A and B are shown apart, each in its own frame.
Chain A
Amino acid sequence: MPDWQKWRKIKYEAELDPGFADKIASIPGGEKLFKCIQCGTCSGMCPLSPDMDYTPRQIIAMIRAGFKKEVLSSHTCWLCASCYACTVECPKEIKITDIMYAAKRLAIQEKVYPKRFAIPVLAREFFNGVKRQGRSNESFLLTRLYLKTNPLQLFKQAFLGLQLFYRGRMSLKLESIEHKNELKALLNSLEKEPLMKSKTGTPVATGEGAR
């Protein structure tokens, strides 16, 4: 594809993914997505919209239109801090925060999240840690996070870690629960559940293929 073709933002119908909106709308209460009036209240409330490549309102519009690749590879959902400011003010009661979570999950599933971006790694490490121990261990979590994304950060943060440790706020003891088997049985029983179902059954293509 010639370079200038990549800059094109307007799309032909055939380049969109018509099943994408349904897939996002399959989360609990997600069908309200189609009621969006594009008023922009969500973007106005969002403390992070100045840092986003697409504002929450744009993301909603793009989801409805089927801009799957753009939505899943945008920084927006990873910048979302789950503060729910948008959700409580939306005149159409759209659960925008939950939609951001759904976008994060799909992006991880399809491996299209921004490369070496710390947040998906944090989420994944957290997930694995809790699965093993039943509890999250902040000091181990952060160490693994920095080792995987940006080892230099580890040294930059070491001073803070030391200060926390000195004040007894960072423990080197691995916290875990007693009945790990019970938790394992609980989580394993859900393993077979699909993350999100697509009503139209359109297979969701991965990153490059969606181009």
Chain B
Amino acid sequence: MSYLYFPGCSLKSTGRGYEESILPVFEALQMPVKELNDWNCCGATAYMSINELTAFALSARNLALAEKQNPDSRSETVNLMAPCAGCYLVLNKTERYLKEFPDIRKKISDSLKSANLEYKGKVKVRHPLDILVNDFGTDKLSKQVKNPLRGLKIACYYGCQIVRPYAEFDDQHNPITMDRLMQAIGATTVDWPLKTRCCGGSLTGTIQDVGLRLSYIILREAKKRGADLVATACPLCQFNLECFQNKMGRLYHDEVNMPVFYFSQLIGLALGIPAKKLAMERSFVPLKTSDMAKIMEGGTNVRS
């Protein structure tokens, strides 16, 4: 199966590490991925707060482009991979609203027409977690592991928008796809209740004291449960959890110091891709050297 890839604005700037790890991982697994040509902003949450219809129209243009650029002429559905949780939700929501509300469908298809575009409804918006677990398979993944992450304890943090409001491929209250991937590459996952609790979203930029508290609660819980690091699947979550740890330390008198990586970076490491090629150096909080050594020695240095 081939996939079209929708990066979204974040994966080209603050969330570059996500793109720079997901693409090598898919390449190593021999899953063909092609970037959607001339994609535009998905509409995101900020756009929704100004004008809902324009937000849908922005997303609809991407869906229409994807349909036109179908990489797999044999297949009826076009698989559009959206790694950013925000883009994933907005594209998905647009797809659903176009089907559910004829009123919106009419207005949007009219406006697409004025831009010489058309959308027939063939796109399926997919998250890489979904693709890796359900299309590729965890068994197949574990067979390709060169450096098992044995001994590493990972808190999988899904954030809100991957499973809410639409639980497309995972459980809404206790999602497990990322946990299964991390287990498949040899790591231990911690059992914790904040997997889908809100990280504060853009509040860390707007009303910072409120936003920081939400992020801090998540990091503190991960630490309490003995996690060595937090794995994320969203550029905004990664940014919020990682980039303000100094400030949290000052505010809450608690040295946080918790590495936060994309799940794709960790899979990349396990597949034997060098850390440099996975943009790990773009992070503020590095993995502890002892943990890194564990990975590099192929899990021979087992802790337990």
Contact A138 B38 (CB under 8 A): no
Contact B164 A187 (CB under 8 A): no
Q: Is B9 an interface residue (CB 8 A)?
A: yes
Within 8 A of B (CB), among A84-136: 84-85, 87-88, 95, 97, 101-102, 104-105, 108, 117-120, 122-124, 126-127, 130, 134-136
Contact A167 B281 (CB under 8 A): yes
* Chain A min CB distance to B211 (Å): 8
Mask, B43-56, CB within 8 Å of A = 1, is: 01111111111100
Contact A178 B164 (CB under 8 A): no
Q: Is A40 an interface residue (CB 8 A)?
A: no
Could you say which of A51, A97, A134 contacts B210, with CB atoms under 8 Å apart? A51
Contact A185 B114 (CB under 8 A): yes
Q: How large is the interface on B (under 10, 10 to 19, 20 to 34, 35 or more residues)?
A: 35 or more
* Chain B min CB distance to A90 (Å): 10
Within 8 A of A (CB), among B30-78: 38-41, 44-54, 57-58, 61
Contact B205 A145 (CB under 8 A): yes
For A139, what are the chain B residues with a Cβ–Cβ distance below 8 Å? Answer: 13
* Chain B min CB distance to A174 (Å): 11
For B100, what are the chain A residues with a Cβ–Cβ distance below 8 Å? Answer: 28-29
Most chain A CB within a 10 A radius of its CB, from B13, B14, B103: B13
Contact B50 A105 (CB under 8 A): yes
CB-nearest residue of chain A relative to B201?
A81
For B13, what are the chain A residues with a Cβ–Cβ distance below 8 Å? Answer: 137-139, 169-171, 175
Give the docked Cα–Cα distance between A32 and B140 (Å): 45
Give the docked Cα–Cα distance between A29 and B102 (Å): 12
Contact A183 B210 (CB under 8 A): no
Could you say which of B57, B207, B244 contacts A187, with CB atoms under 8 Å apart? B57
Contact B202 A81 (CB under 8 A): yes
Could you say which of A28, A169, A187, A193 contacts B282, with CB atoms under 8 Å apart? A169
Which of B104-112, B131-139, B256-264 forms contacts with chain A?
B104-112
With A88-B165, A169-B282 as contacts: A101 and B210 at CB distance below 8 Å: no
Most chain B CB within a 10 A radius of its CB, from A104, A126, A186, A189: A186
Give the docked Cα–Cα distance between A164 and B9 (Å): 16
For B114, what are the chain A residues with a Cβ–Cβ distance below 8 Å? Answer: 185-186, 188-189
Contact A183 B14 (CB under 8 A): no
Give the docked Cα–Cα distance between A101 and B47 (Å): 10
Contact B61 A82 (CB under 8 A): no
Q: Is A48 an interface residue (CB 8 A)?
A: yes
Contact B10 A85 (CB under 8 A): no
CB-nearest residue of chain B relative to A166?
B282
For B14, what are the chain A residues with a Cβ–Cβ distance below 8 Å? Answer: 138, 164, 169-170
Mask, B159-170, CB within 8 Å of A = 1, is: 011001101000
* Chain A min CB distance to B207 (Å): 7
* Chain A min CB distance to B288 (Å): 19
Contact A82 B45 (CB under 8 A): yes
Give the docked Cα–Cα distance between A155 and B32 (Å): 44
For B44, what are the chain A residues with a Cβ–Cβ distance below 8 Å? Answer: 126, 136
With A87-B164, A127-B50, A182-B116 as contacts: A190 and B205 at CB distance below 8 Å: no
Give the docked Cα–Cα distance between A108 and B48 (Å): 12
Contact A84 B160 (CB under 8 A): yes
Contact A85 B38 (CB under 8 A): no
Contact A83 B201 (CB under 8 A): yes
* Chain B min CB distance to A109 (Å): 9
Q: Is B200 an interface residue (CB 8 A)?
A: yes
Q: List 6 A-B contacts (CB under 8 A).
A: A85-B197, A108-B49, A123-B46, A137-B9, A185-B116, A190-B51
Interface residues of A (CB under 8 A from B): 27-29, 47-48, 51, 78-79, 81-85, 87-88, 95, 97, 101-102, 104-105, 108, 117-120, 122-124, 126-127, 130, 134-139, 142, 145, 160, 163-164, 167-171, 175, 177-179, 182-183, 185-190, 193, 195
